[in-house]
Amino acid sequence: MNFVEKIRAKKGKEKIIMLTAYDYQMAKLLDEVGIDLILVGDSLGMVFQGHPNTKSVTMEHMVYHIEAVARGAKRTPIIGDMPIHSYDTVEDALRNAKRLIEAGAHGVKLEGLHSKVISALIENQIPVMGHVGMLPQTAETYRVRGKKREEAERILQDAVELDKLGVFAIVLECIPESLAKKITESINAPTIGIGA
């Protein structure tokens, strides 16, 4: 059973434990503990580099940190964040996702609903993790999303569409618990909460 099948099999049975690492030492520790997934997030722009947001993170940054994490994590699958503008076109997305896989990622995560990009990645055997709710790459402010009915419906619809496209899991970031529950019950892919 590959890691995608293992993660999908946990839906409704076990919680999925995904933690973030940006370096060899943290990845090694997380690998020894035995979590389900390690995310090398573009949050490294804020947490590791000290920037006010994730918008300054480049593909070179992501490749560098994924390589370091891959040296530390020998068993745990690694998910690499696709930084802003790295998936503006299908061609960009394929080229950049392949770079992250070559660096040591087992799959990629991207923010929002980008149907053509996600379909192309999955058709090319690149596992994709979706991400709805608060999307740091495009957010003007960091706040809970989905409090208003229209926004909640759009987030739910995006999650349903991501599921139909074949993402193996979906990150729910900064949304109300009731919306997270509704999304989780409405789709086949497992969900992973970040402040949700």
What DSSP letter does each residue of 107-167 carry, written as one string? EEE--S--HHHHHHHHHTT--EEEEEES-TTT-SS------SHHHHHHHHHHHHHHHHHT-
pLDDT band at 75 (very low <50, low <70, confident <90, very high): very high
Q: What is the DSSP letter of 13?
A: T
Nearest in space to 31 (alpha carbons), one of 91, 68, 74, 62: 74
**In the predicted model, is pLDDT for residue 77 greater than 80?**
yes
> Could you give the strand order of the β-sheet that contains 37-40, starting from the edge strand earlier in sequence?
18-20, 37-40, 78-81, 107-109, 128-133, 169-173, 191-194
- What mean pLDDT comes out for the span 60-74? 98
Structure tokens at 52: 């006010």
As a whole number, the mean pLDDT across the chain is: 96
Q: What is the pLDDT of residue 158?
A: 98
pLDDT digits 0-9 by tens, 163-195: 999 999 999 999 999 999 999 999 999 999 997
Structure tokens at 17: 């434990």
Active-site pick, 32, 111, 153, 173:
173
Specify the pTM: 0.95
DSSP string for residues in 29-73:
HHHHHT-SEEEE-TTHHHHTT--SSSTT--HHHHHHHHHHHHHH-
Q: What is the pLDDT of residue 142?
A: 80
Q: What is the pLDDT of residue 65?
A: 98
Q: With 0-12 CB in 10 A as exposed, 13-18 as middle and 19+ as buried, what is 65?
A: buried
Q: Where are the domains of the chain?
A: 3-194
- What mean pLDDT comes out for the span 37-59? 94
**In the predicted model, is pLDDT for residue 1 greater than 80?**
no
Structure tokens at 32: 């020894």
| 4 or 143: which leads in pLDDT | 4
Q: What is the pLDDT of residue 145?
A: 93
pLDDT digits 0-9 by tens, 121-148: 999 999 999 999 999 898 888 888 999 9
- What mean pLDDT comes out for the span 70-89? 98
Residue 125 · residue 42 · CB < 8 Å: no
Q: What topology does CATH give the domain 3-194?
A: TIM Barrel (3.20.20)
Q: What is the pLDDT of residue 196?
A: 67
HSE-CB for 162 with a 13 A CA cutoff? 32
Q: What is the DSSP letter of 10?
A: T
Locate tokens 């739910």: which residue? 156
Q: What is the pLDDT of residue 139?
A: 85
- What mean pLDDT comes out for the span 104-119? 98
**In the predicted model, is pLDDT for residue 16 greater than 90?**
yes
Angle at 96 between CA 108 and CA 124, to 5 degrees: 65
150 is catalytic: no
193 forms beta bridges with 172
